């Protein structure tokens, strides 16, 4: 885990920091957030600048950037991958601008579907995209230590974990090994979307996918002590999305 520390910069580092700061200030229709007092400190070399200055964003700007990236992906206009340019910057550390709690499904790839590169997204994945203590700790680390301003819980169409939860809840199906743990964890979403005679099962299924995202977003927003405090002080935004397999579009639902 990265340790946050302040160092006294050498002349070369100071010069590099000034260049980065100018790049930051010149950049970005996306809304950089750097308090004026920190600008002055950064100019004098007292504050260590983040490895990717353009990733220092407000929660709203981070969400806008994420969704614009998804638009590029949907329209097949993704930025060509570049594995070289920022490699050295990322040796110094990381400052991703968004955190994604995604399903592990191989068809959902956060870096691809938001057209982002290494160092941009802090990604936690588990089949069924639900929170456990370990995942809350991971998200807390992203928000409190890395200062990530945005968390998105990302579900998707045709999620096998959701189907397992439906089978376990509605049909009392048992799964081998530890798989039952996933089915059980997703039960609240299944129970929250009741069966009805005129409820088409595929519609109910997708409503459960969405409900599972919404429930986990709500749980994260009120999660003490770190996430709830950051949400209340508007330093962190937590949203929910669903990935559509056919189009690649991420639909914001919460």
Give the interface segment with Zn ion, choosing from 30-38, 42-50, 75-83, 151-159 (CB under 5 A). 151-159
Q: Give min distance, CB of 156 to Zn ion, in A.
A: 6
Distance of alpha carbon 166 from alpha carbon 160, whole angstroms: 10
- Beta carbon nearer to Zn ion, 96 or 155: 155
The reply on whether position 159 binds Zn ion by CB under 5 A is yes
Give the interface segment with Zn ion, choosing from 64-72, 84-92, 101-109, 233-241 (CB under 5 A). 101-109
Query: Where would I find the H helices in the chain?
Result: 11-26, 36-43, 59-74, 87-91, 110-113, 133-140, 160-171, 179-185, 187-192, 201-221, 226-232
Touching Zn ion, residues 67-96 (CB under 5 A): none
The reply on whether position 103 binds Zn ion by CB under 5 A is yes
Q: Give min distance, CB of 247 to Zn ion, in A.
A: 17
Q: Give min distance, CB of 14 to Zn ion, in A.
A: 47
- Beta carbon nearer to Zn ion, 119 or 155: 155
Count of residues of this chain found to bind Zn ion when the rule CB under 5 A is applied: 4
- The contacts of residue 104 (CB under 8 Å, 6+ apart) are 125, 126, 127
Distance of alpha carbon 220 from alpha carbon 231, whole angstroms: 9
In SS3 terms, 129-157 reads as CCCCHHHHHHHHHHHHHCCCCEEEEEEEC
- Tell me which residues touch Zn ion (CB under 5 A): 103, 105, 159, 161
């Amino acid at each position: 885990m990265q340790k946050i520390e302040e160092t006294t910069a050498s002349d070369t580092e100071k010069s590099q920091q000034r260049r980065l700061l100018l790049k930051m200030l010149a950049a970005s229709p996306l809304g950089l957030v750097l308090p004026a007092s920190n600008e002055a400190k950064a100019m004098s070399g007292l504050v260590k600048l983040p490895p990717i200055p353009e990733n220092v964003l407000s929660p709203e700007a981070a969400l806008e950037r994420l969704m614009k990236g998804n638009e590029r992906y949907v329209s097949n206009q993704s930025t060509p991958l570049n594995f070289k340019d920022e490699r050295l910057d990322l040796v110094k550390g990381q400052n991703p601008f968004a955190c994604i709690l995604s399903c592990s499904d191989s068809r959902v790839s956060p870096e691809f579907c938001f057209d982002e590169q290494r160092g941009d997204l802090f990604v936690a994945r588990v089949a069924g995209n639900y929170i456990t203590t370990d995942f809350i700790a991971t998200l807390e680390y992203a928000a409190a230590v890395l200062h990530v301003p945005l968390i998105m819980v990302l579900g998707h169409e045709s999620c096998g974990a959701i189907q397992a939860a439906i089978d376990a809840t509605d049909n009392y199906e048992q799964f081998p090994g530890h798989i039952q743990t996933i089915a059980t964890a997703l039960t609240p979403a299944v129970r929250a979307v009741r069966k009805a005679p005129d409820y088409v099962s595929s519609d109910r299924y997708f409503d459960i996918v969405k409900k599972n995202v919404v429930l986990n977003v709500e749980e994260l927003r009120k999660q003490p002590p770190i996430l709830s405090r950051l949400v209340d002080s508007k330093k962190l935004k937590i949203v929910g999305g669903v990935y559509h397999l056919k189009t690649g579009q991420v639909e914001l639902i919460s």
